[in-house]
Amino acid sequence: SVLTQPPSVSGAPGQRVTISCTGNSSNLGAGYDVHWYQHLPGTAPKLLIYGNDKWPSAVPNRFSGSKSGTSASLAITGLQAEDEGDYYCQSYDNSLGVSRIFGGGTKLTVL
Amino acid sequence: QEQLQQWGAGLLKPSETLSLTCAVHGGSLKDYYWSWIRQTPDKGLEWIGEINHSGSTKNNPSLKSRVTMSVDTSKNHVSLRLTAVTAADTAVYFCARVLTYDYEWGSYIRTTFFFDLWGQGTPVTVAS
């Protein structure tokens, strides 16, 4: 994937975890915003964060996003069992024909 | 509440054509682009392409030669056809609504695209 995410992260209930998303000078480094999605087993993916750090309605502020240069992060505080699932970052790339790009996804395990 | 409902054949043989439909409930096709995205264990999420209510399309170049997208505004549907499927096309296919906005970055204007509403996904397996 053009955007690089760690394959997995884990944390105990109540803890804080972060998921990184690393791009390059054609996407995140070129000023394109990053967006984050949560995909829980058996459900449709859900927009979690858009525009680097903005919450869609109904998304709890336990989830937060940030971006700096060619990297972005999703932080989850107060980890809950129902947070277990896959998380994807997404952005735009101006050097590829496939302009809408995703990270490879990170599997979050709640211990 | 807006929802996307998808359907289509879930088991195909190599060389057959994948055909999926996505219905928009509680909202209109107009004013948006509608994307098709697939998920595989190997590649994660992959953008296939998108279409708006007037039939204008944008495509992933790696799939463009095999992809046809269409829109039926009377039924509030968008559809995807992928020809000559192989095992590599085995995936869960999603439709999703595209949101976009412009913003300033230094002296540049950037446009961003993201997906705020997703269908439930349609698993498609290609096997002989």
How far does Cα A58 stand from its chain's mean position? Answer: 17
pLDDT value for A95 = 86
Q: What are phi and psi of B30, to 5 degrees?
A: -65, 150
Cα dihedral B100→A74→B117→A44 (10° resolution) = 150
Contacts of B11 by beta carbon, 8 Å cutoff, 6+ apart:
B124, B125, B127
* Beta bridge mates, B67: B82
CA distance B103 to B101: 7
Tokens describing residue A61? 């502020």
Question: Given an 8 Å threshold on Cβ–Cβ distance, is B115 in contact with A47?
Answer: yes
* Beta bridge mates, A47: A37
CA distance A66 to A80: 21
pLDDT digits (tens, 9 = 90+) for B35-58: 999 998 888 899 999 999 999 999
pLDDT tens string, chain A, 111 residues long: the values are 789 999 999 999 999 999 999 999 999 999 999 999 999 988 899 999 999 999 999 899 999 999 999 999 999 999 999 999 999 999 999 887 778 999 999 999 999
- Judged by a CB distance cut-off of 8 A, whether residue B62 touches chain A is yes
Which of 40-99 (A) contact B at CB < 8 A?
A: 43-47, 50-51, 56, 88, 90-92, 97-99
Tokens describing residue B90? 């085995």
